[in-house]
Amino acid sequence: MYFSEEFKVSAIAMHKLGVFNSEIGTDNHMFVDPKLLHEAKDEFAASRTVLSSYFAKTVSLIRLSKKEDDAPWIAACKRMQFKETPNTGIGFSKVGTDGKGIGPVLARRIVAQASKILPYVEFQPDIFELIGVFTEGLGCDRLSDMLVSILLERFVAYTDRITKALGVQHTVEIPFNGRRYTCPRIREDGKPLVLMPREILKPLPIALNIKEALDNADLNEDMRAEVNRVFADAQMNGAEPSKNLLRAIIHANKSSYAEILGGYQRVMGEPYDFDKDPANVSDYVPIAFEIVGTPNVNREGLDSWGRVEACVKDTISSFTKSVEDYRLSDVMYDDAGDPRNEIIAQRLIYCIADIYAKQYDVDVSREANAGAGAVDFRFTRGHDSRLIVEVKLSTHSRLKDGYYEQLPAYGKAEGIKRLILLIIRVSTDDSHIKALIASIELKSLPIDVIVIDAVRKPSASKRRSSL
């Protein structure tokens, strides 16, 4: 269950506010990327500076230390210990959704590793953002928990603002540095939930983050050859190279510390594309449920083809209604009022279609290949009942050049019974839409064109044919 469902708030409003709509009770395999804090806004403005200051003090203590367990060493270890972070639900925890925290054993390991690295690099506090490359047991999820702990007041201030903006009813006030902040809470005895802005989140990497660090580093020729050999040997065995082996290579080549750190510093933060959403962590599913709810369809008397047509009809009808009464305008347009990429509409339509497909017992697939090229959706039931839907914004160049007159090639490739071109109208210039429709009619092409009016003013759908 998503946060929006649990707390009965709008998934569309959460999307507009830019808050991550996490699944409750499970981790969502996301982490706070420190690189993305450079451009963060509102409560998180200048938060990268706060992190650098915190780590700089730790670096100073380590440099002051003459041996393990002297006063500066112990102070540095205490600064690297962090309690479990509250319920953020973004990491990889196997039980519950609290952050893992960093206890005294791991803190000592981090300080010990940093003390070995610092003599070979200039005064660089962001060495701690890379510490997982050099230290066993500290991946992106642990680093993320560390960052949340250091910036916790900013996170609870953000949570307070978003909680009030969404009108969340089940809340609890928590004290922090002399102030009180309102946070969501599921149960009366439950812990507060901390909300996360999407702009600073990325999916946890599946590949080794050590590999990324080595790829970005300007390693000397011998070390680069050694690293490449390790990866080549692992690939031949169908496996990832051992992290311990890679760390051993790094620690045997002290110059690599500065090279890895320099490579990390040169790389700019790259925000995750929640629109294309290759990791499937975006909020299209809860938005679709907000639009559709739990439909009660009538399948009685419908054969396979009837079910396919009914599924498509209900999908388009639900999407149209939501677009045209402007419930979806906050999702389909950016803050400047410009239409966003058509992939937004495509993903929303797919999530809506998936709800109806389960009701009608119809298969729906996205971006299938029918032999003549890619199509957006294919609705099927059995071998003979197949329908293709292509979705494009009215401003798409391929509408202007008549590309979609080629759609029948898709149908011929696999014996598709019906082709629908669904055009999302986002501009008042309809000349290319009219030209395309006229050409389709003149050539008697077997394409049904449906135009949904998403221009941000009151108007109704315009259709060439109805379902």
Average pLDDT over residues 207-219: 83
- Across residues 378-385, what is the average pLDDT? 88
Q: What is the pLDDT of residue 99?
A: 52
Residue 459 has pLDDT above 50, yes or no: no
Q: Which stretch, 60-64, 391-395, 426-430, has highest mean pLDDT?
A: 60-64
Does residue 74 have a pLDDT over 70?
A: yes
Angle at 133 between CA 128 and CA 139, to 5 degrees: 80
d(CA 138, CA 17): 32
Residue type, 41: K
Structure tokens that stand for 135 in this block: 């230290």
| Mean model confidence pLDDT for the chain | 86
- pLDDT recorded at residue 62: 93
- At residue 424, the pLDDT reads 92
CA 11-14-18 angle, to 5 degrees, is 140
Q: Domain segments of the chain: what residues? A: 3-205, 284-463
Q: Which two tokens stand for residue 278?
A: 């290759």
Average pLDDT of the segment spanning 129-149: 84
Average pLDDT over residues 145-168: 95
- Angle CA 289–295–297, to nearest 5: 150
pLDDT, residue 198, reads: 95
Number of Cβ within a 10 Å radius of residue 382? 13
Query: Which pLDDT value is given to residue 405?
Result: 73
Q: Mind listing the pLDDT tens digit for each residue in 27-50? A: 778 899 999 998 899 999 999 999
pLDDT at residue 11, rounded to an integer: 94
Strand (E) positions, 110-170?
none
Phi-psi region of 89 (alpha: psi -120 to 50; beta: other; left: phi over 0): left
Provide the pLDDT confidence category of residue 94 given band limits of 50, 70 and 90: very low
Asked if 357 and 374 touch (Cβ cutoff 8 Å), the reply is no
Rounded Cα gap, residues 157 and 148, in angstroms = 12
Using an 8 Å Cβ cutoff, are 163 and 182 in contact? yes
- Is there a contact between 138 and 132 (Cβ–Cβ < 8 Å)? yes
In the chain, % of residues over pLDDT 70: 90
Q: Is the pLDDT of residue 324 over 90?
A: no
Contacts of residue 298, defined as CB under 8 A and 6 or more positions apart, other chains included, come to none
- Say yes or no to pLDDT of 460 above 60: no
Mean pLDDT is lowest, of 96-100, 216-220, 280-284, 392-396, for: 96-100
Q: For position 342, what pLDDT does the model report?
A: 86
121-130, 151-160, 453-462 — most confident range: 151-160
Over residues 179-187, the mean pLDDT reads: 92
Cα 377 from chain centroid (whole Å): 22
What is the C-alpha separation between 228 and 235, in angstroms, rounded? Answer: 10
Q: Which tens digits make up the pLDDT trace of 337-351?
A: 888 888 899 999 999
The pLDDT score that the predictor gives to residue 467 is 53
Closest CA to 24 of 235, 187, 164: 187
Measure the CA dihedral 301/304/310/315, to 10°. Answer: 150
Average pLDDT of span 120-132: 81
Q: Which residue has the higher pLDDT, 382 or 94?
A: 382
Least confident among 89-103, 300-314, 378-392, 418-432: 89-103
Chain position carrying tokens 């009837």: 306
Nearest alpha carbon to residue 18 among 273, 232, 199, 247: 199
Please tell me the least confidently modeled range out of 77-86, 251-260, 395-404. 395-404
Give, rounded to a whole angstrom, the gap between the first and last alpha carbons of the chain.
Answer: 33
- Pick the range with the lowest mean pLDDT from 11-20, 70-79, 87-96, 415-424: 87-96
339 φ/ψ angles, rounded to the nearest 5 degrees:
-65, 135
Q: What is the per-residue pLDDT for 276?
A: 85
User: Are 122 and 136 a contacting pair, CB within 8 Å?
Assistant: no
Decide which of 466 and 198 is more confident: 198
